[in-house]
Amino acid sequence: MAAAWLLFGALSPFVVSSAASGATKDYPPNEQPMYGGIQKTAAMKKADDEYIQRALASGYTRQSGARAAVELGFRYFSKNDFATAMKRFNQAWLLDPGLGDTYHGFALVLIERDGNDKDAEAMFRKALSLPSTWAGAYSDYGRFLIMKERYAEAVAVLERGLAKDPNALDARGRLAMALFGKGDYRRACAEARAALGISQPEERRTLEEILKQPQCR
């Protein structure tokens, strides 16, 4: 099993700490998930109401406005602008607390910005509990579990994601990695071969390493 873990050492582009930790900075409420759970002042509530009304006046519903805010959040996350990403995810949550992709976004910022594994995992679990969540959340949570060497859990999560969307980004390749870590080499090698041509470069390199192992020859 230890040899299998060496394959995954440089897998993730986001940081996963070796032990759960909390945020290291005192961020303002709009840069914390769900505004940090604070009791909002009258002025804050007024600003929230005005934001919602502006969104509705622009032709959005609360649901479609939330989806647009989440999309922006992921764009800022991809640029490592975590402050703006969290603000957009919070706006999405304000508009529609039932949108699962928002919690996926919260989880990624908590991991990348804070190394806060415990709260990030809670956000992943919340995301996966909601039917609106896209399959990419399953793929990212599966990767998180792989990095924690929780391979059996990762297999279950990734299989759920693939059942939701067989084309979920990198989910099949990550399933191969989780299966290999779990010791299910026959399935791991088959999934690695199937995913090799559809994976992103970093994932593909890991799959190539798996396929070089004696278990896949």
Question: Looking at the predicted structure, is the pLDDT value of residue 10 above 90?
Answer: no
- pLDDT number for residue 26: 83
Q: At what angle do helices 42-57 and 82-95 cross, to 10 degrees?
A: 80
**Residue 133 CB-density burial (10 A; 0-12 exposed, 13-18 middle, 19+ buried):** buried
Percent of the chain having pLDDT more than 90?
A: 84
pLDDT confidence bin for 202, thresholds 50/70/90: confident
Token pair listed for 146? 């792989």
Apex CA 162: angle with CA 157 and CA 167, to 5°? 140
Query: What's the mean pLDDT when you consider all of the chain?
Result: 89
Q: How far apart are CA 48 and CA 27, in angstroms?
A: 19
Please name the residues in contact with 205: beta carbons below 8 A apart, sequence gap of 6 or more.
none
User: Given pLDDT bands bounded at 50, 70 and 90, which one contains residue 134?
Assistant: very high
Q: How high is the pLDDT of residue 25?
A: 63
pLDDT surpassing 90 at residue 2? no
The stretch 131-152 carries a mean pLDDT of 96
pTM above the 0.85 mark? yes
The yes-or-no answer to whether 65-133 and 135-217 have a common fold is yes
Three-state secondary structure string covering the chain: CHHHHHCCCCCCCCCCCCCCCCCCCCCCHHHCHHHHHCCCCHHHHHHHHHHHHHHHHCCCCHHHHHHHHHHHHHHHHHCCCHHHHHHHHHHHHHHCCCCHHHHHHHHHHHHHHHCCHHHHHHHHHHHHCCCCCCCHHHHHHHHHHHHCCCHHHHHHHHHHHHHHCCCCCCHHHHHHHHHHHHCCHHHHHHHHHHHHHHCCHHHHHHHHHHHHCHHHC
Report domain extents, the chain.
Answer: 65-133, 135-217
Amino acid 169: pLDDT = 87
Among 2, 42, 44, 17, which Cα is nearest to 151's?
Answer: 2
Q: Is the model's pLDDT at 1 over the cut of 70? A: no
* Under 8 Å between Cβ of 123 and 110: yes
Residue-wise pLDDT tens digits, 25-65: 689 999 999 999 999 999 999 999 999 999 999 999 999 99
Kindly report the CATH number that applies to the domain delimited by 65-133: 1.25.40.10
CATH of domain 135-217: 1.25.40.10
Which pLDDT belongs to residue 65?
Answer: 97
